Amino acid sequence: MAPRVVVVSLASDFGCQVQMTNIEDDLLDVLGLIDLSYWQLASSGHMPAEYDVAIVEGAVTTEEHVELLKRIRSVADVVMVIGACAVTGGIPAMAGEGDLEQRFAYVYGTDGANVARGRISPGPVKRIIGVDYEVPGCPIDTAEFLRVLSHALQGLANRLPQEPLCAICKTKENVCLFDKGQICLGMFTRTGCGARCVSLGRPCTGCRGLAADANVESAMKILAEKGYDIDEVTERLAVFNTREEVFSR
Protein backbone atom coordinates (compact mmCIF):
# COMPACT_ATOMS: atom_id res chain seq x y z
CA MET A 1 0.00 0.00 0.00
CA ALA A 2 1.29 3.46 -0.89
CA PRO A 3 2.28 5.67 2.08
CA ARG A 4 -0.59 7.91 3.15
CA VAL A 5 0.59 11.53 3.18
CA VAL A 6 -1.04 14.67 4.59
CA VAL A 7 0.14 18.25 4.03
CA VAL A 8 -0.75 20.70 6.81
CA SER A 9 -0.16 24.43 7.21
CA LEU A 10 0.23 26.39 10.44
CA ALA A 11 1.09 30.12 10.41
CA SER A 12 2.46 30.88 6.96
CA ASP A 13 1.60 32.38 3.60
CA PHE A 14 1.30 28.91 1.99
CA GLY A 15 4.34 29.86 -0.13
CA CYS A 16 6.10 26.53 0.34
CA GLN A 17 2.96 24.59 -0.54
CA VAL A 18 2.60 26.72 -3.65
CA GLN A 19 6.23 25.92 -4.41
CA MET A 20 5.34 22.23 -4.27
CA THR A 21 3.03 22.77 -7.23
CA ASN A 22 6.02 24.12 -9.18
CA ILE A 23 7.55 20.65 -9.29
CA GLU A 24 5.65 20.38 -12.60
CA ASP A 25 6.52 17.14 -14.41
CA ASP A 26 7.99 15.52 -11.30
CA LEU A 27 4.81 16.19 -9.29
CA LEU A 28 2.91 13.49 -11.16
CA ASP A 29 5.72 11.02 -10.50
CA VAL A 30 5.62 11.83 -6.79
CA LEU A 31 1.84 11.53 -6.63
CA GLY A 32 2.16 8.11 -8.23
CA LEU A 33 4.25 6.90 -5.28
CA ILE A 34 2.04 8.13 -2.44
CA ASP A 35 -1.57 8.31 -1.35
CA LEU A 36 -2.05 12.07 -0.91
CA SER A 37 -4.83 11.79 1.65
CA TYR A 38 -5.04 15.49 2.53
CA TRP A 39 -3.47 18.71 1.26
CA GLN A 40 -4.67 21.76 3.15
CA LEU A 41 -3.98 24.13 0.25
CA ALA A 42 -5.96 22.04 -2.23
CA SER A 43 -8.43 20.07 -0.09
CA SER A 44 -11.88 21.07 1.11
CA GLY A 45 -12.40 18.02 3.31
CA HIS A 46 -11.08 17.12 6.76
CA MET A 47 -7.74 15.58 7.61
CA PRO A 48 -8.08 11.79 7.93
CA ALA A 49 -7.66 10.00 11.23
CA GLU A 50 -4.86 7.77 9.93
CA TYR A 51 -1.82 8.56 7.79
CA ASP A 52 1.85 7.62 7.58
CA VAL A 53 3.69 10.84 6.67
CA ALA A 54 2.82 14.38 7.74
CA ILE A 55 4.34 17.33 5.88
CA VAL A 56 4.00 20.52 7.94
CA GLU A 57 4.47 24.10 6.77
CA GLY A 58 4.39 27.19 8.96
CA ALA A 59 5.31 28.41 12.43
CA VAL A 60 3.53 27.46 15.65
CA THR A 61 1.60 30.50 16.90
CA THR A 62 -1.46 29.21 18.77
CA GLU A 63 -2.45 26.64 21.38
CA GLU A 64 -4.56 25.04 18.66
CA HIS A 65 -1.38 24.52 16.62
CA VAL A 66 0.24 22.84 19.62
CA GLU A 67 -2.63 20.39 20.02
CA LEU A 68 -2.70 19.70 16.27
CA LEU A 69 1.03 18.94 16.23
CA LYS A 70 0.72 16.59 19.20
CA ARG A 71 -2.04 14.69 17.39
CA ILE A 72 0.04 14.58 14.22
CA ARG A 73 3.06 13.21 16.10
CA SER A 74 0.93 10.53 17.78
CA VAL A 75 -0.41 9.33 14.41
CA ALA A 76 2.34 9.83 11.81
CA ASP A 77 5.32 7.54 11.52
CA VAL A 78 7.22 10.40 9.88
CA VAL A 79 6.95 14.16 10.42
CA MET A 80 8.59 16.34 7.77
CA VAL A 81 8.69 20.13 8.13
CA ILE A 82 9.18 22.44 5.15
CA GLY A 83 10.17 26.08 4.90
CA ALA A 84 11.84 28.57 7.22
CA CYS A 85 8.67 29.18 9.25
CA ALA A 86 8.39 25.52 10.26
CA VAL A 87 12.15 24.85 10.55
CA THR A 88 13.37 27.93 12.46
CA GLY A 89 10.22 29.92 13.20
CA GLY A 90 11.07 32.19 10.28
CA ILE A 91 9.58 35.67 10.00
CA PRO A 92 6.58 34.90 12.28
CA ALA A 93 8.99 34.28 15.17
CA MET A 94 10.01 37.94 15.08
CA ALA A 95 6.62 38.74 16.63
CA GLY A 96 7.40 36.58 19.63
CA GLU A 97 9.89 38.84 21.33
CA GLY A 98 8.66 40.45 24.54
CA ASP A 99 5.19 40.32 26.09
CA LEU A 100 2.55 39.13 23.61
CA GLU A 101 -0.33 40.78 25.44
CA GLN A 102 1.48 44.12 25.40
CA ARG A 103 2.06 43.77 21.67
CA PHE A 104 -1.58 43.01 21.01
CA ALA A 105 -2.67 45.86 23.28
CA TYR A 106 -0.42 48.23 21.34
CA VAL A 107 -2.15 47.26 18.08
CA TYR A 108 -5.71 46.50 19.21
CA GLY A 109 -6.04 48.68 22.30
CA THR A 110 -8.48 47.42 24.93
CA ASP A 111 -9.34 44.41 22.74
CA GLY A 112 -5.71 43.26 22.83
CA ALA A 113 -6.21 40.73 25.62
CA ASN A 114 -9.11 39.08 23.78
CA VAL A 115 -7.17 38.92 20.51
CA ALA A 116 -4.14 37.43 22.27
CA ARG A 117 -6.18 34.66 23.91
CA GLY A 118 -5.09 31.24 22.71
CA ARG A 119 -1.94 32.57 21.05
CA ILE A 120 1.62 31.69 22.00
CA SER A 121 5.05 33.05 21.17
CA PRO A 122 5.70 31.99 17.54
CA GLY A 123 8.34 29.36 17.00
CA PRO A 124 9.42 26.32 14.96
CA VAL A 125 7.67 22.96 14.97
CA LYS A 126 10.62 21.27 16.70
CA ARG A 127 9.92 23.30 19.84
CA ILE A 128 6.69 21.32 20.26
CA ILE A 129 7.27 17.84 18.80
CA GLY A 130 10.07 15.71 17.44
CA VAL A 131 10.80 16.24 13.74
CA ASP A 132 12.23 13.57 11.45
CA TYR A 133 13.01 15.52 8.26
CA GLU A 134 13.55 19.19 7.45
CA VAL A 135 13.55 21.19 4.22
CA PRO A 136 14.73 24.73 5.06
CA GLY A 137 14.46 27.86 2.92
CA CYS A 138 12.02 30.62 2.04
CA PRO A 139 10.56 29.27 -0.09
CA ILE A 140 11.76 25.68 -0.28
CA ASP A 141 13.83 24.43 -3.20
CA THR A 142 11.74 21.93 -5.16
CA ALA A 143 14.68 19.63 -5.94
CA GLU A 144 15.63 19.48 -2.26
CA PHE A 145 12.02 18.85 -1.29
CA LEU A 146 11.81 15.87 -3.66
CA ARG A 147 15.12 14.50 -2.38
CA VAL A 148 14.12 14.76 1.29
CA LEU A 149 10.65 13.35 0.63
CA SER A 150 12.25 10.42 -1.16
CA HIS A 151 14.49 9.82 1.87
CA ALA A 152 11.46 10.01 4.16
CA LEU A 153 9.52 7.47 2.10
CA GLN A 154 12.51 5.10 2.03
CA GLY A 155 13.46 5.58 5.67
CA LEU A 156 16.85 7.07 4.79
CA ALA A 157 18.62 9.60 7.00
CA ASN A 158 17.94 13.32 6.68
CA ARG A 159 21.40 14.78 6.19
CA LEU A 160 21.24 18.56 6.02
CA PRO A 161 24.40 20.34 4.82
CA GLN A 162 26.62 21.48 7.69
CA GLU A 163 28.87 24.05 6.06
CA PRO A 164 28.09 27.76 5.52
CA LEU A 165 26.90 29.05 2.17
CA CYS A 166 30.27 30.68 1.46
CA ALA A 167 31.69 27.20 0.77
CA ILE A 168 29.50 26.62 -2.29
CA CYS A 169 29.56 30.28 -3.30
CA LYS A 170 33.30 30.09 -3.84
CA THR A 171 32.97 27.03 -6.07
CA LYS A 172 30.59 29.05 -8.25
CA GLU A 173 33.27 31.77 -8.50
CA ASN A 174 30.90 34.50 -7.32
CA VAL A 175 32.45 37.83 -6.40
CA CYS A 176 32.03 38.23 -2.62
CA LEU A 177 29.33 40.82 -2.00
CA PHE A 178 31.20 42.09 1.04
CA ASP A 179 33.82 43.32 -1.42
CA LYS A 180 31.02 45.40 -2.93
CA GLY A 181 30.05 46.85 0.43
CA GLN A 182 26.92 44.71 0.84
CA ILE A 183 25.98 42.71 3.92
CA CYS A 184 25.61 39.05 2.96
CA LEU A 185 24.75 36.36 5.51
CA GLY A 186 26.44 33.54 3.60
CA MET A 187 29.14 33.05 6.23
CA PHE A 188 26.44 32.25 8.81
CA THR A 189 23.85 30.41 6.72
CA ARG A 190 23.47 26.71 5.98
CA THR A 191 24.24 25.87 2.35
CA GLY A 192 22.10 23.63 0.15
CA CYS A 193 20.41 26.21 -2.06
CA GLY A 194 23.22 26.37 -4.60
CA ALA A 195 23.94 29.98 -3.61
CA ARG A 196 21.11 30.98 -5.91
CA CYS A 197 20.53 34.47 -4.51
CA VAL A 198 24.20 35.42 -4.47
CA SER A 199 24.68 34.04 -7.98
CA LEU A 200 21.94 36.43 -9.09
CA GLY A 201 23.66 39.36 -7.37
CA ARG A 202 21.49 39.41 -4.25
CA PRO A 203 22.90 39.08 -0.70
CA CYS A 204 22.00 35.97 1.28
CA THR A 205 19.21 36.68 3.78
CA GLY A 206 19.79 33.63 5.97
CA CYS A 207 16.51 31.88 5.21
CA ARG A 208 18.02 28.38 5.51
CA GLY A 209 19.01 28.86 9.13
CA LEU A 210 22.35 28.92 10.87
CA ALA A 211 24.99 26.52 9.56
CA ALA A 212 26.28 23.98 12.07
CA ASP A 213 29.86 24.88 11.13
CA ALA A 214 29.33 28.66 11.28
CA ASN A 215 31.72 30.48 13.59
CA VAL A 216 29.46 33.39 14.54
CA GLU A 217 31.85 35.01 17.00
CA SER A 218 34.76 35.10 14.56
CA ALA A 219 32.54 36.25 11.70
CA MET A 220 31.23 39.15 13.75
CA LYS A 221 34.75 40.13 14.74
CA ILE A 222 35.91 40.16 11.11
CA LEU A 223 32.89 42.21 10.02
CA ALA A 224 33.50 44.73 12.79
CA GLU A 225 37.14 45.04 11.74
CA LYS A 226 35.99 45.74 8.18
CA GLY A 227 33.76 48.53 9.42
CA TYR A 228 30.36 46.90 9.09
CA ASP A 229 27.57 47.81 11.52
CA ILE A 230 27.21 44.72 13.72
CA ASP A 231 23.79 45.82 14.93
CA GLU A 232 22.57 45.83 11.33
CA VAL A 233 24.06 42.38 10.72
CA THR A 234 22.33 41.13 13.88
CA GLU A 235 18.99 42.56 12.77
CA ARG A 236 19.27 40.87 9.40
CA LEU A 237 20.12 37.53 10.99
CA ALA A 238 17.09 37.84 13.25
CA VAL A 239 14.67 37.96 10.31
CA PHE A 240 14.82 34.18 9.88
CA ASN A 241 16.67 33.11 13.02
CA THR A 242 15.03 34.81 16.01
CA ARG A 243 14.32 31.47 17.70
CA GLU A 244 17.64 29.89 16.81
CA GLU A 245 19.67 31.60 19.54
CA VAL A 246 22.04 32.78 16.86
CA PHE A 247 24.64 34.29 19.15
CA SER A 248 24.74 31.64 21.84
CA ARG A 249 27.90 30.03 20.48
Does residue 249 lie in a domain region? no
**pLDDT band at residue 249, thresholds of 50, 70 and 90?**
very low
The total domain count for the chain is 2
State whether 130 and 170 are in the same domain: no
Does residue 161 lie in a domain region? no
**Final residue of a domain: which of 123, 154, 185?**
154
pLDDT in tens, 52-84: 999 999 999 999 999 999 999 999 999 999 999
pLDDT in tens, 170-192: 899 999 998 888 999 999 999 99
Query: Any idea how long the chain is?
Result: 249
Does residue 56 lie in a domain region? yes
HEC-encoded secondary structure of 88-138 = HCCHHHHHHCCCHHHHHHHHHHHHHHHHHCCEEEEECHHHCCCCCEEECCC
State whether 200 and 117 are in the same domain: no
Sign of the CA dihedral with 16 first, then 62, 122, and 131 last:
negative
pLDDT in tens, 9-53: 999 988 999 998 888 777 767 777 899 999 988 777 889 999 999
State whether 218 and 240 are in the same domain: yes
Q: Is the pLDDT of residue 2 over 50?
A: yes
Tell me, what CATH number does 60's domain have?
3.40.50.700
**Final residue of a domain: which of 129, 154, 179?**
154
**pLDDT band at residue 97, thresholds of 50, 70 and 90?**
low
State whether 174 and 120 are in the same domain: no
Residue 120's domain comprises 4-154
Does residue 99 lie in a domain region? yes
Global pTM reads 0.90
Q: Could you give the strand order of the β-sheet that contains 35-39, starting from the edge strand earlier in sequence?
A: 35-39, 4-9, 53-57, 78-82, 133-135
State whether 182 and 144 are in the same domain: no
State whether 99 and 126 are in the same domain: yes
